[in-house]
A = this chain, B = another copy of it.
Amino acid sequence: MKQTLSFETLRERIEQIFLRAGMNAVQAGALSRAIAAGERDGCKSHGIYRIEGVLRTLKAGKVSGTAEPQIVGGDDGAIVRVDARGGFSNPAFELGVPVLAERAKRLGLAALVVNDCTHFAALWPEVEAVTEHGLAAMVMCPSYATVAPAGGTRPLLGTNPFAFGWPRPGRAPYVFDFATSVAARGEIELHRRAGNQLPEGWAIDTDGQPTTDPEAALAGAMLPFGGHKGSAISTMIELLAGIMIGDLTSPEVLDFLGTTTLAPFHGELVIALSPEKFAAGRSGDPFARAELLFEAIQGQGARLPSQRRFAAREKSLADGITLSADEAAQLDRWLRLGLDAVA
């Protein structure tokens, strides 16, 4: 039977599942917030669907469910570093973000580095958390090698998401969060299951030739969005959010895990910028001026990113979050069986 739950009730049920699976409170709490937020925003691919992957990665011993993230290095200039200690990125990020915000407001900009974490979620929760402090944010991380560089023939880069947010006082922020591959790997999998061909330009086969066959694409490599430009941005993400912060690149992640069915282990880079500090002494209020830009975009019929997500959020907060009978049963099963629920 379908169930309609409040955000907090759903979040608690997810938290119970993770506690039952042996996670500590800080890991289970942060993860439950991120997954319930995905479900609330109508992002089914980042909602309770993700619980299975979390449990599988936990069971495979590739993430610590009991890690206590730690801020390391003291007041080291504009860099705030959190050691996730092999746990999930979410509690590490939550620990670091108030320090990041203070540092960015004082210095104008600052970076949060999360090291040694497993990241399985979208980046928009991170971006939104930074914008709540009145700061703009860029967030990026590698994933695992499934994307060929433009002009290349084999998987090397990750789907490497890039996300950005700008605070909009009194309303949901301007947020985008996208894979730097043309399509997400999950989309190719969906085409495969449905027996559909892929659109052209999504992937190449094991010989490096363009393919529209999902099986051949999964065996071959995905392509970056926007040709050599997207490929360059994806490479930048490997450099900044992998190599520069002393964490794994996408090929190294794949070597470490040996599979793409577990959540990637790596690092994450967040850059926070203070519009108030940057605009100080200049004419015009940056937040008011940004609204004019957004109005001009929407005034010609174009959409701002994340609007569908924010509409779903509004509806969920007003009417509750509805789970299908299957989904509700799945939650019960995970709660009952813990790690025994996954292979």
Contact = CB atoms under 8 A, between A and B. Distances in A.
A249 B150 contact: no
B148 A278 contact: no
A236 B178 CA distance: 13
Q: Taking the full assembly, how many copies of this chain does it contain?
A: 2
A111 B272 CA distance: 12
B305 A232 contact: yes
Interface string A151-180: 111101000000010100000001010101
Interface residues of A, number: 74
Contacts of A284: 243, 246
A289 B243 contact: yes
Contacts of A226: 225-227, 229-230
A300 B150 CA distance: 10
A277 interface: yes
A135 to B, nearest CB: 10
A236 B164 contact: yes
A266 to B, nearest CB: 12
Contact of A108 (B77, B136, B154, B247): B77
A278 to B, nearest CB: 5
Contacts of A302: 148-152, 231
Given A164-B236, A246-B283, 11 more contacts: A77-B107, A79-B277, A107-B107, A109-B109, A109-B111, A164-B232, A166-B239, A233-B233, A235-B297, A243-B290, A245-B282
Q: 4 nearest interchain CB pairs? A: A246-B282, A226-B226, A77-B107, A152-B302
